Amino acid sequence: MRRSALAMVVVVAMALPAVVHSSEREVRSPQDIFADRCAYCHEAGGWGTRVLARRVPEGQAELRQRDNLPPALTMLVVRRGIGAMPPFTPTELSDAELEALAEWLASGTPRQRP
Ligand code: HEC
């Protein structure tokens, strides 16, 4: 009985690294993250867009239209939140994903709509 319990522990312990590995999340593309987590507030007509329209130059309120959004600002705002925008934790959005998203928003790419 004791022996089989010990064997069980050994088997589970050996299996663990595989389990941990397989549950690692894949890195999602900036496009997917934006669509999932940001677009409902930051597309045209979204709440974030409407709030930003009050304080950014005309034509810049939609994040994907911005031509002056430094990656450092996006990374700070997403982690800390700003005004009514909630912060995002590293569990929701990894550092690597956030960095890629910030670069994507800062580049011209987002303005070239499909
Ligand atoms: C629940 C709605 C909501 C979601 C979701 C949201 N935002 Fe926001 N965001 C806002 C609002 C509202 C503001 C304006 C806050 C203010 O100025 O008071 C804002 C502001 C910003 C700003 C500041 C722009 C500037 O010029 O100061 C950035 C950058 C930003 N959001 C990026 C993002 C990104 C990237 C995501 C997705 C990971 C995201 N937001 C998700 C509501 C949201």
Prediction pTM value: 0.81
Tens digit of pLDDT for each residue in 42-60?
A: 999 999 999 999 999 999 9
pLDDT for residue 22 = 46
103, HSE (Cβ side, Cα atoms, 13 Å): 8
Taking the C-alpha atoms of residue 99 and residue 105, their distance in angstroms, rounded to an integer, is 10
Question: Can you tell me which atom of ligand 1 is nearest the CA of 88?
Answer: 38
Question: What's the CA-to-centroid distance between 68 and ligand 1, angstroms?
Answer: 15
Q: Where are the domains of the chain?
A: 27-111
Q: Is residue 44 within 8 Å of 26, Cβ to Cβ?
A: no
Region 15-35 average pLDDT: 73
- Taking the alpha carbons of 57, 77, 38, 112 in that order, is the dihedral positive or negative? positive
Region 5-23 average pLDDT: 60
Question: What's the CA-to-centroid distance between 20 and ligand 1, angstroms?
Answer: 33
Question: Can you tell me which atom of ligand 1 is nearest the CA of 38?
Answer: 37
* The CATH fold of domain 27-111: Cytochrome Bc1 Complex; Chain D, domain 2 (1.10.760)
Q: Is residue 33 within 8 Å of 101, Cβ to Cβ?
A: yes
Q: How many CB atoms lie within 10 A of CB 43?
A: 15
